């Protein structure tokens, strides 16, 4: 049996899939070793959302070779699916697996020996199947990422994900029901519902994402559920109403805006307009005042002028959002936007991203300050023996530190938030 190490780059879906693969190899009798230790084989799960992600993948491949020069090096995932030619040019890579083939590595590879000839296992994604994945998201095993959807049918002009992962497909509804009941009998307390375009969940039997929440509400579960990310046009009124009245769904929405400029949104071919986003944010806060709202935004899209960026900045500054994930636009070959004129100079793109990240810090602090005096449910996750302090997350995604020498790391407790310090809040245990 072999010592195999894994390295993951990218999103929660990637992370869940990597954990599923680790479990697959453990069942075959192999030992999973931490990346950085000498191994017999190294499997790297890649991302290609930006040029920086591509570069990170190449760096990790070379780092793996330095750590384990005699190891079998396998590269899989989104970068492998779209840019196998770039990976094959890296000396020492033994095999490349696409986004379907990575789930069949043991069948494709008879033995994990260094090879004289590269094994290329990258097929078309026309008839790709859904592969479920579930993984622990933290060292204390209190939270789990559950992948219930994959792929995307949207045609956003900047995005390579549909090409890298194929069309939208989803977990069977009965399989989802069984998985939820299975997780309810574990030590996990929080389930992060995850997908590439989660709101587009549609089971082969026709159930949609609204039905997923109805299923959660109908089952006798001790778990709480968090929506990883959902498109603005897919937060249906029924979904918002159910989250509003739910005791299981966390009051937390992470919603990609991408741009606050109507002109840029049209160039991006997003499926909503600025007014839709504004109304959604206000509706959420009206129904759930303590709800945390996170926003994705891209700076420096081709044709974005100073005036366009200011529209985005002013919009986000005016809205009651809680934090921002600001990304710098990255030109991706094969996308419509890669052919657009009027590229924004890189220093300007970076400066705009910096401005939005500063705004995010302000928004986050405002949201945290608004929570002082509130009592929330927190899962103790990280413990510092030197200070006797725990840290964890509330249901509405507030990071809180609190003392509690006799707390169990898997049992939720009630914490009253009393102050804000740096990037966290401080609280006291009520129960």
The CATH number assigned to the domain holding 132 equals 3.30.750.210
Q: Which is it for the CA torsion 356, 359, 364, 370, positive or negative?
A: negative
Q: Is 293 among the domain residues?
A: no
Q: Is 58 among the domain residues?
A: yes
**Residue 417: domain span:** 375-429
Q: What are phi and psi of 111, to 5 degrees?
A: -145, 150
Closest CA to 155 of 297, 262, 271: 271
Closest CA to 212 of 187, 182, 237, 175: 175
Q: Are 72 and 38 in contact (CB under 8 A)?
A: no
Q: What is the average pLDDT value for the chain, to the nearest integer?
A: 95
Rounded Cα gap, residues 272 and 184, in angstroms: 36
Rounded Cα gap, residues 358 and 19, in angstroms: 34
Q: Is 274 among the domain residues?
A: no
- The confidence score (pLDDT) of residue 361 equals 98
Same domain assignment for residues 149 and 246: yes
- The confidence score (pLDDT) of residue 238 equals 98
Q: Is 341 among the domain residues?
A: no
Q: Is 302 among the domain residues?
A: no
Which contacts (CB < 8 Å, 24+ apart) does range 343-347 have? 343/302, 344/300, 344/301, 344/302, 344/303, 344/304, 346/300
Q: What is the mean pLDDT of residues 97-114?
A: 91
Same domain assignment for residues 57 and 89: yes
- The confidence score (pLDDT) of residue 415 equals 97
Same domain assignment for residues 152 and 94: no
323, containing H or E segment:
strand 323-328
- Crossing angle of helices 346-370 and 306-318, in 10° steps, is 10
In the three-class reduction of DSSP (H, G, I as helix; E, B as strand; rest coil), residue 317 is classed as helix
Q: Is 384 among the domain residues?
A: yes
Asked if pLDDT for residue 110 goes beyond 90, the answer is: no
Q: Is 36 among the domain residues?
A: yes
Same domain assignment for residues 146 and 180: yes
Same domain assignment for residues 103 and 194: no
Q: How many CB atoms lie within 10 A of CB 382?
A: 13
C-alpha distance from residue 342 to each of 159, 258, 339, 345, 349 (Å) = 18, 18, 10, 9, 13
Asked if pLDDT for residue 140 goes beyond 70, the answer is: no
Q: Which residue has the tokens 């806060």?
A: 285
Same domain assignment for residues 132 and 246: yes
- The confidence score (pLDDT) of residue 137 equals 56
Q: What angle do CA 48, 54, 55 make, to 5 degrees?
A: 160
pLDDT digits (tens, 9 = 90+) for 177-219: 999 999 999 889 999 999 999 999 999 999 999 999 999 999 9
Rounded Cα gap, residues 162 and 99, in angstroms: 12
Q: Is 340 among the domain residues?
A: no
**Between 253 and 136, residue with greater pLDDT:** 253
Using the 3D structure, point to which of 121, 153, 184 is the last residue of a domain.
121
Q: Which residues of 287-300 are buried (b: 16+ CB within 10 A; e: fewer)?
A: ebebbbbbbebbbb
Same domain assignment for residues 116 and 136: no
Same domain assignment for residues 108 and 168: no
Rounded Cα gap, residues 249 and 176, in angstroms: 16
Least confident of 29-43, 80-94, 112-126: 112-126
Q: Are 312 and 263 in contact (CB under 8 A)?
A: no
Rounded Cα gap, residues 189 and 186, in angstroms: 8
Name, in order, each residue with C-beta under 8 angstroms of 294's C-beta and a sequence gap of 6 or more.
252, 253, 254, 255, 321, 322, 323, 324, 325, 397
Beta strands in 334-423 (DSSP E): 375-378, 382-384, 389-393, 399-403, 413-421
Helix (H) and strand (E) counts in the chain: 13, 21
- Number of domains observed in the structure of the chain: 3
Q: What is the mean pLDDT of residues 290-295?
A: 99
Least confident of 124-133, 223-232, 261-270: 124-133
- The confidence score (pLDDT) of residue 57 equals 96
Q: How many CB atoms lie within 10 A of CB 164?
A: 26
Same domain assignment for residues 39 and 134: no
Is residue 431 very low, low, confident or very high in pLDDT (cuts 50, 70, 90)?
low
pLDDT digits (tens, 9 = 90+) for 344-395: 999 999 999 999 999 999 999 999 999 999 999 998 988 888 888 999 999 9
What strand order describes the sheet that includes 190-194? 133-136, 143-147, 190-194, 224-227
- The confidence score (pLDDT) of residue 420 equals 98
Residue 144 DSSP code: E
Using the 3D structure, point to which of 222, 250, 278 is the last residue of a domain.
250
Q: What is the mean pLDDT of residues 266-270?
A: 98
Using the 3D structure, point to which of 121, 142, 172 is the last residue of a domain.
121
Closest CA to 76 of 38, 41, 29: 41
Q: Are 209 and 198 in contact (CB under 8 A)?
A: yes
Name, in order, each residue with C-beta under 8 angstroms of 63's C-beta and a sequence gap of 6 or more.
none
């Amino acid at each position: 049996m072999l010592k195999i190490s894994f390295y993951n780059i990218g999103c929660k879906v990637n992370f869940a899939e990597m954990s599923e693969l680790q479990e697959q190899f453990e069942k075959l009798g192999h030992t999973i070793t931490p990346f950085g230790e000498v191994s017999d084989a190294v499997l790297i799960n890649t991302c290609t959302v930006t040029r920086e992600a591509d570069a990170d993948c190449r760096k990790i491949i070379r780092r793996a070779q330095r750590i384990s020069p005699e190891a079998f090096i396998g590269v899989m995932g989104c970068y492998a699916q779209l840019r196998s030619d770039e990976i094959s040019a890296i000396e020492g890579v033994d095999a490349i697996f696409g986004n379907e083939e990575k789930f069949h590595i043991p069948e494709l590879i008879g033995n994990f020996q260094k090879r004289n000839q590269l094994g290329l296992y990258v097929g078309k994604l026309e008839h790709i199947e859904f592969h479920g994945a579930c993984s622990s998201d933290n060292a204390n095993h209190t939270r789990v990422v559950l992948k219930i959807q994959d792929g995307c049918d949207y045609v956003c002009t900047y995005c390579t994900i549909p090409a890298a992962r194929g069309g939208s497909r989803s977990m069977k509804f009965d399989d989802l029901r069984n998985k939820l009941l299975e997780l309810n009998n574990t030590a996990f307390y929080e389930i992060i519902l995850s997908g590439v375009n989660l709101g587009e969940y549609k089971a082969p039997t026709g159930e949609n994402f609204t039905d997923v929440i109805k299923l959660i509400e109908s089952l006798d579960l001790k778990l709480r559920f968090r929506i990883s990310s959902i498109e603005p046009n897919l937060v249906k009124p029924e979904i918002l109403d159910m989250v509003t009245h739910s005791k299981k769904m966390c009051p937390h929405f992470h919603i990609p805006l991408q741009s606050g400029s109507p002109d840029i949104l049209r160039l991006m071919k997003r499926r909503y307009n600025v007014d839709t986003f504004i109304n959604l944010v206000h509706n959420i806060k009206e129904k759930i005042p303590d709800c945390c709202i996170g926003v994705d935004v891209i700076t420096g899209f081709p044709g974005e002028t100073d005036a366009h960026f200011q529209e985005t900045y002013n919009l986000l500054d005016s809205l009651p959002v809680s934090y921002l994930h600001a990304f710098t636009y990255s030109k991706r070959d094969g996308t419509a936007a890669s052919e657009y004129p009027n590229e924004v100079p890189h220093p300007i793109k970076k400066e705009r991203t910096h401005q939005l990240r500063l705004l995010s810090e302000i928004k986050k602090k405002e949201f945290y300050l608004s929570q002082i005096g509130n009592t929330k449910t927190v899962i103790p996750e990280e413990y510092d023996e030197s200070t006797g302090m725990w840290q964890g997350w509330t249901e509405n995604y507030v990071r809180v530190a609190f003392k509690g020498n006799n707390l169990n790391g898997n049992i939720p407790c009630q914490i009253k938030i009393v102050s804000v310090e740096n990037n966290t809040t401080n609280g006291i245990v009520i129960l």
